[in-house]
Chains A and B, each alone.
Chain A
Amino acid sequence: MNIMLVLIPISLLLVALAVWAFFWAVDHDQFEALDRAALAPLLEDQSDD
């Protein structure tokens, strides 16, 4: 059971990381234009213009 003492803090760290990543995404408008996201891979890079 001692492995728990390592794994659980790691999982807590991962939780913190996930929350941070989600907050970052929300703050950077990643959830704003959801209709556009599907098209993004098909577009050329801006630098190609």
Chain B
Amino acid sequence: MDGSQASGICAHCGEPLGSAALAIPGAHGLQWVCCAGCRAVMLFLEPTSEIDAQSFADWDRPELLAQAQTEADGQRTLSLAIDAIHCPNCAWLIERHLHALAPSIGVNVDVPFRLLHLTFDPARVRLSQVVAVLAGLHYPPRLVSLDAKQRQQHKRDLKALFVAAFCAMQAMMFAEPLYWAAPDLPAATALFFAWISAVITLPVVAYAGGRFFRGALLELCMRRPAMDTLISSAISLALIGSFVGLLQGSSLVYFDAIAMFVFVLLLGRVLEARLLAGSRIEQARLLNNAPALAELASGERLALNELILGMQLRAFAGETLLADGVLLSECALVSEALLDGESTPCGKRAGDAVLAGSCVQSAELIYTITALGSATQLAQIAQLSRRAAAARAPDAARAAQMAMRFTLLVLVLAVLTSMAWWLIAPERALAVTLSVLTVACPCALGLALPLTRALAHARLQSMGVLLLKPDALARLAEADHALLDKTGTLTTPHSGVPRITLQGAGSLVAEQAREIAGALEHRQNHPLAHALAHPSALLASTVEVLPGAGLRGLIGGELWTLGRPALFGLDDDGTVVLDGPRGRALFDINESIKPGVEHALSEMRSLGLDAEILSGDSLERVARVGRQLGISTYLARQSPAQKRAHVQVCIERGQRVLMLGDGINDAVALAQAHVGVSFACGSALAQTQADVLLLKNDLNVLASAIALARRSEAMAIANLRWAQLYNLLAIPAAALGLIGPGWAALGMGLSSLLVTANACRLLRNPRKTRPQQTETVPT
């Protein structure tokens, strides 16, 4: 193939190269194609892996490979998030190319979650080759950390569900003759059928129902008997009862009911677990898990564990500092917004301390390491938030408490009934106890609660709200006091570029204003100098500093003044004013309030949540935002530990605190609060500590999410009430021996149907009158 551009024809189709021509790096130099379509076909025909692999050398570093799970046969498994995966064709393309690279690679593309699960032998295939192929196909991957146990758990769930469903059907089939043909069957045949259904029910209980017994054991160890205790005691009592009956030669057994019971409950559980796992995967995708590499001032790149104190590191604009240190560059602009809530980037001079976790805003800086790893302030905050999370009281939601009391009541009733019948008529004691348990069968509860939660999860996910902890829904519903972080939550932190408003009829344009201000601020040791620093071709002469934070100087023969509004007789609104013969410009270096926040706050107020600002920023800025949003209670200059202490104070006041924050400094408070809410664009630490994650940078969704959580909790309680009412009527009747097991089973089925139908109401849209604001806010 003639690949030179000089020939002027497409290397693939032979058409003349037009304006859309593209170059492909090939084994024999660049090849030119006429369009993106030809490029795709060329890449498909000749993957360019070997050539590009060098630029992905970071993927071969041992510390990255260490994150892969090692299988028994020396193979490694690794998950990559690929945002560009869209449809099964993408999966096909990726699989085909990776197999062409090395047939031994195990490739598994998860299209819904846009994940690629790789199994490979590092001795035979280098990860950089794989990544080069993916990048060449325009599927740039990102290393994510997924809980490997989750996939295993999913497989176990599938197996358990299959065993329960399949064996329950068989058990029912063998029980059928006992129901319909019982009088005509010879006793021996009936007993045979009963034994067969016992045999087929045992794997259901032992294998598929195992999790209920383990859960019950856990609940009993924690002395908080709840659903699992009720379920497993009902299963085991019914099982023991049926076996005792069987050994006594009675064919009046309930093995089919037991198996069906286990299957239905398991279904609810698995549905709920699946949705929670999905939320966790979505959250894990958000974080890039590739180990960070530090660049030394000499240009060498090292892994974090290879760094030692005193090394000089270089960091570029947009990067996050990896260690605490002392600045060596003459001056630099770093944003500590995520670290301490400070909304304006701070100007640092040589010798100033810089902190791990802060983000570089100016072009490039060099610093000397003074603290590393667990000694950094960042690591100490992470440590503190882990401790807070561990200390948080386990939640006993109202629905769970009701279920617990109900459990105890039913168990006591069953025991009393069997004792009473044992005294009155021992031969009927077993049958009556069984029908009490069947009537009281918590099937409705066991199904209704997970189903309600699963539906709420699904709806929240579609709204862009991920629940990350199992009890997050109940906690969200209970919140009655909101503590809001300011920077990044209510406001968009200042980016380092001032917003410029021009005033008056002068000929001044924004770009000129920046240059003039930059010239005036050049080499000034002024707090605003950094924010307004701007490369300027202009030169200011005879610059004098005015008392009261201002500067005046001659630029091109014109006299320009720069300073606080007070200098010009204006109200101080935090802006900086530039004034001169050609007009006046206002530089707004304040953070801006996110659009939609006011509406969201009023929504939350109408849900009964009063808001309070808890910020690490200065009092002046916090007060201004508070005024603008109508929030009268606020605390400023809060350290992570102070934020946590304030959350604790609110909790002790009896408030159920919802903490909303995105910064590293919020992580401890998020872990401590009744429910912690963070943003997908926030810091990784805040995300891992939060119970709830908002995918969109929009507070309005939170108000809707709280409303939905409350509705779902109310529904769970309504379902519990219904189950209690039904039991209140049915248990005494069963205890008196009035209800046969057949009727009991019918009642149980109808009750389950009712609560399921009730739970499905959650799928309906609650408020049709008010259009929901769910647009993404441009940032």
Q: Are A38 and B88 in contact (CB under 8 A)?
A: yes
Q: How long is the Cα–Cα vector from A26 to B108 in the complex, in angstroms?
A: 14
Q: B112 — nearest CB in chain A belongs to which residue?
A: A35
Interface residues of B in 72-113 (CB under 8 A from A): 87-89, 91-92, 95, 99-100, 103, 108-112
Q: B80 CB to closest chain A CB, in angstroms?
A: 15
Q: A44 — nearest CB in chain B belongs to which residue?
A: B96
Q: Which of B91, B100, B186, B203 contacts A33 (CB 8 A)?
A: B91
Q: How long is the Cα–Cα vector from A37 to B775 in the complex, in angstroms?
A: 35
Per-residue interface assignment for chain A, residues 16 to 37, with 1 indicating a CB less than 8 Å from any chain B CB and 0 otherwise: 0011001100110101110110
B592 interface contact, C-beta 8 A? no
Q: How many residues on B have C-beta within 8 angstroms of the other chain's C-beta atoms?
A: 31
Q: A1-B189, A27-B155 are in contact. Are A33 and B196 (CB under 8 A)?
A: no
Q: B391 CB to closest chain A CB, in angstroms?
A: 39
Q: A18-B166, A22-B162 are in contact. Are A36 and B196 (CB under 8 A)?
A: no
Q: Which of B88, B158, B162 contacts A35 (CB 8 A)?
A: B88
Q: Which of B91, B92, B99, B200 contacts A46 (CB 8 A)?
A: B99
Q: Are A33 and B109 in contact (CB under 8 A)?
A: yes
Q: B685 CB to closest chain A CB, in angstroms?
A: 32
Q: How many residues on A have C-beta within 8 angstroms of the other chain's C-beta atoms?
A: 23
Chain A residues whose CB sits within 8 angstroms of the CB of B599 once the complex forms: none
Chain A residues whose CB sits within 8 angstroms of the CB of B416 once the complex forms: none
Q: Which of B88, B162, B199 contacts A39 (CB 8 A)?
A: B88
Q: Are A35 and B91 in contact (CB under 8 A)?
A: yes
Q: Are B162 and A36 in contact (CB under 8 A)?
A: no
Q: B199 — nearest CB in chain A belongs to which residue?
A: A12
Chain B residues whose CB sits within 8 angstroms of the CB of A46 once the complex forms: 99, 103
Q: B146 CB to closest chain A CB, in angstroms?
A: 14
Chain A residues whose CB sits within 8 angstroms of the CB of B648 once the complex forms: none
Q: How long is the Cα–Cα vector from A38 to B92 in the complex, in angstroms?
A: 11
Q: How long is the Cα–Cα vector from A31 to B162 in the complex, in angstroms?
A: 13
Q: Which of B87, B159, B167 contacts A23 (CB 8 A)?
A: B159
Chain A residues whose CB sits within 8 angstroms of the CB of B520 once the complex forms: none
Q: A31-B158, A35-B88 are in contact. Are A12 and B99 (CB under 8 A)?
A: no
Chain B residues whose CB sits within 8 angstroms of the CB of A35 once the complex forms: 87-88, 91, 111-112
B636 interface contact, C-beta 8 A? no
Q: A19-B162, A23-B159, A31-B158 are in contact. Are A4 and B189 (CB under 8 A)?
A: yes
Q: Which of A12, A26, A27 contacts B200 (CB 8 A)?
A: A12
Q: B184 CB to closest chain A CB, in angstroms?
A: 11
Q: Are B110 and A32 in contact (CB under 8 A)?
A: yes
Q: A15 — nearest CB in chain B belongs to which residue?
A: B170
B551 interface contact, C-beta 8 A? no
Chain B residues whose CB sits within 8 angstroms of the CB of A26 once the complex forms: 155, 158-159, 162
User: What are 9 A-B contacts defined by CB distance under 8 Å?
Assistant: A8-B196, A18-B166, A22-B159, A26-B159, A33-B91, A33-B110, A35-B91, A35-B112, A36-B109
Seed contacts A26-B158, A33-B110; 5 additional CB < 8 Å A-B pairs: A18-B166, A33-B109, A35-B88, A36-B109, A36-B111
A contact residues vs B (CB 8 Å cutoff):
1, 4, 8, 11-12, 15, 18-19, 22-23, 26-27, 29, 31-33, 35-36, 38-39, 43, 46, 49
